[in-house]
Amino acid sequence: MTKDWKYYLGISLFAYSFIPICVVAALPFLGMSLAESGTLAVVFLATGEVAFYTAAALLGKEFLAALKKRFMGWFRAKDRPPQPVSRTRHRAGVILLALSFLPYYAVLADLLFFAPLGAEITFLAWTLVGGEVLGIVALFMLGAPFWDRLKQLFCWNGGQAQGPVPSAAP
């Protein structure tokens, strides 16, 4: 890749595309009205996305492939077989996964049957975040075999039956 003006502009736009995320994360602490912070968030996020896609167009497919390879390298396990999950860890993961759905129903019931006030809305938002964290922790506790079974749930088998086909009664 030649380091001409396209390269430097692309790198600059790529670096800029992450700044709006930090600005939007800091908006609740700036003491602005909801309308002002919402407008600022939309404008900043839109400029960040435009900058990211422009950078992708300027830098090309090779740069994005190298970036993806490096980024995925942080999360990919080193070539080792997955460790077996104990029965206790599996049960704890399944229980946490089931419990991760409860905050959504609790918040929904609270919103339907009660009129939440300002402080309660913050509590409800943190309850939803807690449910998300429980779900993420549960999926990591369940391990790689569970991930494989979960992925198979969303795979289309092409209309072919898996396992024995039940016979139709005459």
More confident residue, 59 or 160: 59
Clarify whether residues 64 and 119 are in a common domain: no
What pLDDT was estimated at residue 122? 73
Clarify whether residues 135 and 92 are in a common domain: yes
At 167, the pLDDT band (50, 70, 90 cuts) reads low
Q: Whole-prediction pTM value? A: 0.47
Residue 29 inside a domain? The answer is yes
Clarify whether residues 53 and 95 are in a common domain: no
More confident residue, 102 or 65: 102
Residue 88 CA to residue 128 CA, distance in Å, equals 26
Widest distance between CA atoms in the chain: 75
The count of structural domains within the chain is: 2
Residue 62 inside a domain? The answer is yes
Residue 163 CA to residue 72 CA, distance in Å, equals 35
Q: What is the mean pLDDT of the chain?
A: 79
Residue 93 sits in which domain range?
87-153
Residue 145 CA to residue 148 CA, distance in Å, equals 5
Residue 38 CA to residue 124 CA, distance in Å, equals 20
At 95, the pLDDT band (50, 70, 90 cuts) reads very high
Residue 74 inside a domain? The answer is no
